[in-house]
Every structure is written in structure tokens, then in C-alpha cells.
Amino acid sequence: MDIIKELNDLNIGQVLKDVNIKEYTTYKAGGIATALVIPDNVECLIELLKFLKNNNIKHKIIGRGSNLIFNDAGYNGVLIKLDNLNGLDIKGNEIIVGAGYPLIKLATRLSRMGYTGLEFATGIPGTVGGAVFMNAGAYKSDMGYVVKSVKVLTPNYRIKELTNYDMDFHYRTSFLQKNPEYICLEATIILKKGNQDEIMQLIEDRRKRRVETQPLEYPSAGSVFRNPEGDYAGRLIEEIGYKGHRIGDAEVSTKHANFIINTGNAKGEDIKALILEIKAKIKEKYDIDLKVEQEFVE
């Protein structure tokens, strides 16, 4: 079966062959994927998913690849990006936004318009869909605080609205994480109007702090581990002397111990090995089972 020909024949959007995963993840690591498809719309996405399922073809939706670790052996399947589900409709305090809309772009745009509540997201790379899936957050806030409802595609290809309650948002998790066969299509967000100058000053202060405390000059995927209750993963990693520790070109940042950076040409396998090594050391020394925020894609 010629997958690329079959995908092109579906006429559902852009089809790219033998894509370098490094170009689609923030770690800049990973091998070659068989194909990447960017469906034109929801109907095209449904047609694509039906084709992949009927032909038993492995596939994954990747957003901006900001929490994904692929092996350098590659991905024998189809990656899907929802870039074209990028509508934005602002109705007073209610904002309806597509899953493919970049989160930083959304948060910055709304903040400049004087909306408050999404300031925490101005430094989080990823898409709205990915942020909803992960319940992305920072500065003691997250998507669960602002999302009113989420339009999803169910496993049987129906479009359904899930309320905030249905989404079961908790620290860095949601209904979608526990039910990955559901796909976020768009989110309805509720924000308040605030003082534009104060909002932008807060964002600028936080930006400066990130530059000072995070290794933004290197490819990474942000915080590797969730903070255990009452403590910080970065502090624990620092305590075991792992700042600067490396496997290949994957290194624990000397600036922030809860970041792993790609210092050159790190392999996905190196990053994974380093994460698992840290996890084992923390468990051994403190009997704390650190939870990994990032996903290892096989």
C-alpha cells in the first residue's frame, strides 16, 4: 500500500512525506515520520481518521510538539497537525478559539486587548488544543480556570460539547488525557476585562524572570516533571547533584534543574534515558515518584 498516494487521493489537505520530526518538536529531536497531514477542516479530519483506522495505520496528533519526545528511530505512521482549525471569535468576555491556534499568540493578543485571565499562558509554547489536553498552566493558574467548554470529536466521530466540569481539569491533567481517543476541536474561554497597562506590565515582568531563570536559548520542552505536593522538582534534582548532568547532547540545565536541554544533536533516546535516570534517583533518595509531564512517543 502506498500510504502517501492514498492520503493524497483523499484530497483532505496538505500531505508531507518522510518528515523530519526535529522540525516539529521543541526538543528538536526525533527521526523521520512516514507522513504528516494537515487537514483542511473538521470534515477532512474525520475522513482522515476513518481512513487511518480502517487501514490500521498508526497516527498521532502533535500540536506544536512542545511536550513530545520521539525516538531517533523515527515514527512509522502518520502525524496530524490541526493548524487549520484556527478560528477566533471574540464575543465580549467569551472567546471561541480553534484547537490549532497558537497559545502564546492567543494569550498575547487578548492581553493586549485588555483581557485578564490568560496572562499565565504568554510563555507557554503549544496550541490551544494541546494546552486544553494537558491543562497547561503557570503562576498558580491553568486552562481549567478559564475554559468554559470544549468542543470535541468523539471516538465514533461525533462532535460533542464538554463542559468545564466534564473536562475534569486537575493539575496538568484533564478528561482528554485520560481519554486520548477524544480530540479537542475548539475551546470556549471566559475572561474579564482588566487594566491593559497592568496586564502588559505583569507579562513583561514574568518574561524578564523567565529569561533570567530558564534556558530559553536551547531547545527544550519546558518543565520535565510535575512539582510534587509541597515541593519543587527542580530543587530535588539540584539536591542530587544533577545540574549539568548529561547523556549525549541531552543535559540537565545549569540554569533550571527541571529543564532538560538539547545542547546540540541530542537523540530522543538520550532525553528519555536522562529523564528516567533522574526519576529513578529521586525515587531512590527521597522515595518520591516524580511524574513526567512529557510524553514518550513510540
- Residue 189 and residue 93 in contact, taking contact as beta carbons nearer than 8 Å: no
HSE-up of residue 9 (Cα within 13 Å, Cβ side): 7
Name residue 69's beta-bridge partners.
296
How many CB atoms are located within 10 Å of the residue 48 CB? 22
Give the residue numbers marked as catalytic.
172, 223, 293
Which residues have C-beta within 8 Å of that of residue 179, sequence separation ≥ 6?
none
Burial class of residue 62, CB neighbours in 10 A (0-12, 13-18, 19+)? buried
CA distance 276 to 177: 21
Angle at 121 between CA 149 and CA 210, to 5 degrees: 165
CA distance 261 to 219: 6
Burial class of residue 104, CB neighbours in 10 A (0-12, 13-18, 19+)? middle
- Residue 202 and residue 9 in contact, taking contact as beta carbons nearer than 8 Å: no
